Structure 1
Amino acid sequence: MPPAIRHVLFPGRHHLVTSFQVTYLTDLLAGRVRDTAGEPVACAPDARVVWALTSATHSGTRRNPVPAHRREAMIEAVTTRAGLPSLVVPVADVLPSPRFAHTVLATSELVLGHALTPADTVVACSTPDVAAMYAADGFRVVTVEDGAPGDPDRPWAVLERMVAGDEAWRALAHPDAVAFYERYRLDEHVRLVHTDPTVQDDGDLTETRDYATYTAAFDDASDRKWAQVAPHVRPGRVVDLGCAAGGLLERAARDPRLAESDLYGVDVSRHLVAEAEHRRAQGVFANPNVFFAQRNLLLGPVFHERSVDTTTTIALTHEIASYGDGRADLELLARRIFDQTRPGGVWINSDVLGPAEPDRVVDLVLDGDGDVPARDLTALERGDAAAYVAALSPAARLTQFTQDFPALSGADVKVEWVERGTARSVARTTLRTAMEYLYTRDYTDSWLSECHERFCDLTGDDWADLLTGVGFELEPGSGPWRNDWLVENRLRVGAALRDPVTGEAIDWPDTHVLTVARRPLVPVAG
């Protein structure tokens, strides 16, 4: 007869607790369940369920929509009311590994202060591949939902019912779990995360971004960006949408004018918000009232109406247009920001801009030979793809761009090679396409991610129409401008624009837009 069991190890993400699980675990502790070998499991009177809460450091994504602290609190609420002796062990998110069982066991030992051994522990697991890992280490296994009469829904299937609007989820989830979800409006939160059309399953716009490079580039430019927007910021509640790792708010937190202000950073990317929170924990922000949240403003309001004094969006709007529904999503964003802005408050937007004459035909003169076949970069590791693109000449890189950019961004690209040669090539195309390429070509570290983004969807006039159309008034100084440093050090390196008829050089167009849009103190009539 095997010795009495003192621990039931129950690993899982546990985003929901079902009535079936509570009944099953209660029966298990009472000795009414058999293991996979058909042997009854005899539990000691003081036996407890150890809920190994996996992916505890990962939240806000389709894979893990509910943060660990809420999951732990839900388990405590359910098991306390159900009289189910339990302990919760948070386990950090890890990549799939054959040592997953070891990770859970090692974490449990660290948290509980003693090891869970095959002699005193049974593993409750309905995922055969995971259960097999514990069995290989000598643990007895009970299968919970797997093979149970009636094929009961696993928690994730119940969660998907909830997302789909199937009210049967309430009957399947444990009543105290339902009450907990309603108390903290977790059902609304999970639906938003699952139905977000712009974000990948792991919590970002794209799966091909190099975060170290992205964050470093954003931080490097934060002094310049803050100098540009700071004169227009109204103190009070200040919100930086698309805050990345908080570089702009770090500068704002040092501004004496904002010492009494509340500073909020909002970003859709789980990775970037996590880095911002880490920086806050390290004391990077001089103002103690700095807060971060992972949200997507397109899916619903983040702040109450007329509650925000300043909203900033820096290099964000082109991403919203690119990963969403183009101008329609920018108009939705503008309406949401208008609604949250106090009368007299402002939305400050700075981003790359499309040329005023986007359809003008130009000759793009590039160094190198454009007669180089494009490669399928999706088959390469990110580092290998970056190295390959970085080694291409400006002309050869355009050839690669004409394959990757339309495929990933959905843009219409037409390029006619007028001349090809080992030293110089000439491509005839629209000014919009030429600028899209020149804005993108130097971002080789995240080439496929950048080729998903369109920089030239809107012109300066388009921005003015969009903002005034939702009710904003444009402050003096708003409008297009040309970043001459960018022109001299990036755009014209190995490249030139010429008129295809006269052959004369074409002036470089405006590259950026700065708009300071103010919500009127009195609503505009009509």
Structure 2
Amino acid sequence: MPRHVLFPGRHHLLTRFQARYLADLLGGWLADDAGDPIHVAGDATVVWAVTSANHQNTRRNPIAAHRREAAIEQFSWREGLHSLVVPVVDVAPTDRFAEITLKNVRHATGRELTPDDTVVACSTPAVAALYRALGFRVAPVEQGEVTAPATPWQLLDRLAAGDDTWRRDAHPASVDVVDRYGLAEHVRMLAADPVVSGEGSLTDTRDYRTYSTSFEHAARRKWAQARPYVRPGRIVDVGCATGGMLELAAAEPGLAESDLFGIEVARHLFEECEHKKAQGAFANPNTFFHQRNVLAGRVFPDRTVDTTMTFALTHEIYSYGDGAADLRSFAATLAAHTAPGGVWINSDVCGPAEPDRPVRLRFHDGDVRTPAVDLTTVAARAHLDALPPGSRVAQFAQDFHGPFDYEVVDERTVQLSLRDAMEFLETMSYTDNWLSEMHETFCHFGWDDWVRLADSVGLTVDPRSGPWRNDWMVEHVFDPAAALTTPDGRALDWPDTHLLLVAGAPHEG
């Protein structure tokens, strides 16, 4: 007679139906999905396998595993169940998912769940099939009911939509945990996020290993750029990536009394920040991280932040959000939370001063008529790396998510606007993250646009800040690829590529 009921699932919300179903299952009143009666031992243990336990703050997994476990423990106490809770980390789709879950249970509890002593309670047909293939009997839970009881995901969707009828079908244990920890507002905020995917990322094609490495290597240079303008007090790094800038700030004796906050929207990067903090990477103990999208709502009260840093972030807000409108909303949010005399330090790419000026790119190698291919059908990086810069033009035009127009002059030359020329040149070498970078627009705002934006939200631009040209890119990227000329062939200097914007809030009085 089976002594275990394995109940795999994300378990974000528990339901009243689940309580009745488990009571009937343990009482011997139910049948499996083949119609055969199920009889389990009177002291059977319910093993709750909480899947995606390492995911939180995403639309797919909005509630942290420890909150889910708290609800399960309360549910079990209220219903008189003997339960064990086993966290199972998220894995890519695999036919071995059932085996992985069983191994997690064995490692966590020492119990070997076998088809002879375990019934699996599962309402997801594809998952149930994996256990059935291993010889387990399956109790179909909601899937086997003609009354179509509300599933946990349906209740979560109602909660996210602001429909309080979720409370009617949710078990009191889940209602209690949601209310005590204010999770309803959190779930609704994540569901309404205008930018971030269901996996907690800006784009599902980004390689976060190379992305993280790039940010870590650049952190010292970025901190040196920002440090002269940093005001002690509450210091916030929005888009902090893996926390490299705050690691340097935390080591500064002059900022020892400051509170440091890292705000990161991408789940992969936020988790690395938390990992580094657990390892003691931040000398200042008052270093904190939050996974939030500032566009979805304010993180800090008005007039409470002394320094806000944004590095390589604002072009992503423009690219993944609603363009200039979201960029202005972002700037207004930062201006509102800036304390009197506080400062916003923004370092990012910058569009050319004459974006619409017609220019020509004369490539040293490649053929601009080379046709584009569907990169999802080939080894993208290897294909791109085999193409000289001139042969990537059509590929860029196909994959780039913004407007990009060019005219073929000859096999080595295209005519286009200065903005489009720089969009291509600044992005063409990102072959390891090509499809991700094709979402991003680098040349949306010139320096004058930034000055107007800062002024519109009540901030004053420090005259020491301004646009600048990255001469390393000129030497290593632009010059080796092409020459920039007027339509009649006169040579042109490369324009500004980056900016340092320092904008301050007025002092009181």
Question: Taking structure 1 as the reference length, what is the TM-score of the superposition?
Answer: 0.93
Structure 1 Cα separation of the partners of residues 486 and 6 of structure 2: 72
Say whether residues 1:299 and 2:296 are aligned partners.
yes
What is residue 439 of structure 2 aligned with on the other side?
452
- Give, in angstroms, the shift of residue 272 of structure 1: 1.0
C-alpha distance 137-402 of structure 1, shift in aligned 2 (>3 A): closer
Say whether residues 1:499 and 2:494 are aligned partners.
no
- Give, in angstroms, the shift of residue 205 of structure 1: 0.7
The SS at the match of 2:42 is: strand
Identity percentage of aligned residues = 57
- Give, in angstroms, the shift of residue 475 of structure 1: 2.1
Say whether residues 1:392 and 2:378 are aligned partners.
no
Say whether residues 1:414 and 2:405 are aligned partners.
yes
Structure 2 Cα separation of the partners of residues 135 and 364 of structure 1: 61
Say whether residues 1:440 and 2:427 are aligned partners.
yes
- Give, in angstroms, the shift of residue 23 of structure 1: 1.4
What is residue 373 of structure 1 aligned with on the other side?
371
C-alpha distance 132-403 of structure 1, shift in aligned 2 (>3 A): closer
Structure 1 Cα separation of the partners of residues 126 and 393 of structure 2: 46
Structure 2 Cα separation of the partners of residues 83 and 518 of structure 1: 60
C-alpha distance 304-77 of structure 1, shift in aligned 2 (>3 A): farther
- Give, in angstroms, the shift of residue 336 of structure 1: 1.1
The SS at the match of 2:363 is: strand
Say whether residues 1:517 and 2:508 are aligned partners.
no
What is residue 186 of structure 1 aligned with on the other side?
183
Runs of 5+ in structure 2 lacking a partner?
Answer: none
The SS at the match of 2:3 is: strand
Structure 2 Cα separation of the partners of residues 29 and 302 of structure 1: 46
> Which residue among 107, 111, 115 is the counterpart of 1:114?
111
Counterpart of 1:215 in structure 2: which amino acid? S
> Which residue among 89, 92, 103 is the counterpart of 2:89?
92
Q: Give the stretch that moved more between structures: 24-33 or 351-360.
A: 24-33
> Which residue among 6, 14, 17 is the counterpart of 1:9?
6
- Give, in angstroms, the shift of residue 226 of structure 1: 0.6
Say whether residues 1:353 and 2:340 are aligned partners.
no
Structure 1 Cα separation of the partners of residues 72 and 300 of structure 2: 30
- Listed one character per residue, the Cα deviations across residues 45-66 of structure 1 (whole Å, up to 9, x for unaligned) are 3222111101111222222111
Question: Taking structure 2 as the reference length, what is the TM-score of the superposition?
Answer: 0.96
Counterpart of 1:462 in structure 2: which amino acid? D
Say whether residues 1:151 and 2:148 are aligned partners.
yes
Do 2:222 and 2:245's aligned partners in 1 also have CA atoms closer than 8 Å? Answer: yes
> Which residue among 21, 38, 42 is the counterpart of 1:41?
38
Structure 1 Cα separation of the partners of residues 387 and 35 of structure 2: 64
- Give, in angstroms, the shift of residue 24 of structure 1: 1.0
How do 1:45-444 residues align onto structure 2 when only pairs under 5 Å count?
45-368=42-365, 369-380=367-378, 384-405=379-400, 409=401, 411-420=402-411, 425-444=412-431
The SS at the match of 1:445 is: helix
Counterpart of 1:378 in structure 2: which amino acid? T
The SS at the match of 1:43 is: coil
Structure 2 Cα separation of the partners of residues 19 and 122 of structure 1: 21
Structure 2 Cα separation of the partners of residues 47 and 147 of structure 1: 22
- Give, in angstroms, the shift of residue 466 of structure 1: 0.7
Counterpart of 2:345 in structure 1: which amino acid? I
- Give, in angstroms, the shift of residue 77 of structure 1: 2.4
Runs of 5+ in structure 1 lacking a partner?
Answer: none
Do 2:14 and 2:174's aligned partners in 1 also have CA atoms closer than 8 Å? Answer: yes
- Listed one character per residue, the Cα deviations across residues 313-334 of structure 1 (whole Å, up to 9, x for unaligned) are 0000001100110110011111
Q: Give the stretch that moved more between structures: 338-347 or 461-470.
A: 338-347
Structure 2 Cα separation of the partners of residues 85 and 231 of structure 1: 60
Structure 1 Cα separation of the partners of residues 228 and 213 of structure 2: 25
The SS at the match of 1:87 is: strand
Counterpart of 2:460 in structure 1: which amino acid? E
- Listed one character per residue, the Cα deviations across residues 154-208 of structure 1 (whole Å, up to 9, x for unaligned) are 1011111222233221111112312321221212212222222212222211111
Structure 2 Cα separation of the partners of residues 519 and 82 of structure 1: 57
Counterpart of 1:417 in structure 2: which amino acid? V
C-alpha distance 394-137 of structure 1, shift in aligned 2 (>3 A): closer
Counterpart of 2:502 in structure 1: which amino acid? V
Structure 1 Cα separation of the partners of residues 19 and 449 of structure 2: 57
Query: How many residue pairs align between the two structures?
Result: 508
Structure 2 Cα separation of the partners of residues 164 and 278 of structure 1: 32
Structure 1 Cα separation of the partners of residues 396 and 501 of structure 2: 30
Do 2:72 and 2:173's aligned partners in 1 also have CA atoms closer than 8 Å? Answer: no
- Give, in angstroms, the shift of residue 82 of structure 1: 3.1
Structure 1 Cα separation of the partners of residues 203 and 33 of structure 2: 42
